[in-house]
Amino acid sequence: MILSSSQLRALKERNDEELRKGKHGKYGYPAHTIQDLLQTIEAVKKEKRKWKQLAQERGKVLQEIVVLTLKAAPPVSDPDDDI
């Protein structure tokens, strides 16, 4: 199941209320377990952003390498290509 940001926010708010109630909360998953899961989700989001930015930077560097390579060694026409 995939949760939207509004659903995650609502879950966090409900969970915070359960944590404030203490031992008088409802039955179900322990509030601390849900809190740990929410923290894990946030950590995964941060990792995803980090890797996405790294991939974008890598793409830019590879593009610069291609440009520099083409400037340094322009393509030579191969006499066999004329056939």
| Tens of pLDDT, residues 13-27 | 887 887 777 766 566
pTM, two decimals, is 0.53
Structure tokens, 10? 């609502």
Confidence band, pLDDT 50/70/90 cuts, at residue 38:
confident
Task: Pick left, alpha or beta for residue 74 (phi over 0 → left; psi -120 to 50 → alpha; otherwise beta).
Answer: beta
Q: What pLDDT digit, counting tens, does each position of 48-82 carry? A: 999 999 999 999 999 999 999 988 886 676 666 55
pLDDT of residue 79: 61
| DSSP SS3 for 27 | coil
How deeply is 15 buried, as exposed, middle or buried, from its count of CB atoms within 10 A (0-12, 13-18, 19+)? Answer: buried
Written as six digits, the tokens of 43 are: 């950590």
- What single letter denotes the amino acid at residue 17? E
12 Cβ partners below 8 Å, 6+ apart? Answer: 38
pLDDT at residue 63 in the model: 96
